[in-house]
Amino acid sequence: MMTEEEKIFAGKMFDPRKQELKDIKHKAHIACQKYNTMDEYDPERSPIIQEFIGKIGKVYYFQGPIQFNYGSHTFIGENFFANHNCIILDEAKVIFKDNVFVAPNCSFYTAGHPFDPMERNSGLEYAKPITVGNNVWIGGNVVVLPGVSIGDNAVIGAGSVVVQDIPAGVLAVGNPCRVIRTIISK
């Protein structure tokens, strides 16, 4: 029989109310709460992330406040920066590759709920992973929805709602987020 966490990673419906998952989330929530109350210059603040995160590079910074649902399902590469109010609801895996910069008030949601009301009322949900490529800049107030991949060297404009994959090397903006143009490097 699969655990609820195994169901998540297998792309199956799972029950977020099960104690197994509640315990993982509680650990992340307590760590986020502690992080959010500490001064940004406190040398003991940044290592708190390492207590609950799946994996993180050596160079990273979260301005705070932050909120992770699990934390252990998030994997962050080198040279990561997140400004104020970063929310990562990481039921499924959330992967940030190297050199990712996240502006204020950005949210990454991997969880979804069934459209059918009877199924939705059962309390079960599903989750789809999010991947953010190398050298990506995400503007302020962006929401990234379940199952989205953002390609390397992309820029997501402020206020966008990213509902589908974004290819590498483009500027994409809007609700729903769409490609505006290719980014030309000089």
Which residues are the active-site residues? 113
The DSSP result for 84-150, as a single string, is SSEEEE-SS-EEE-SS-EE-TT-EEE-EE--SSHHHHTTT-BEE--EEE-TT-EE-TT-EE-TT-EE
Residue 173: phi and psi, rounded to 5, are -145, 165
CA-wise closest residue to 28 among 89, 86, 82, 84: 89
> Which phi and psi angles does 181 have, rounded to 5°?
-165, 165
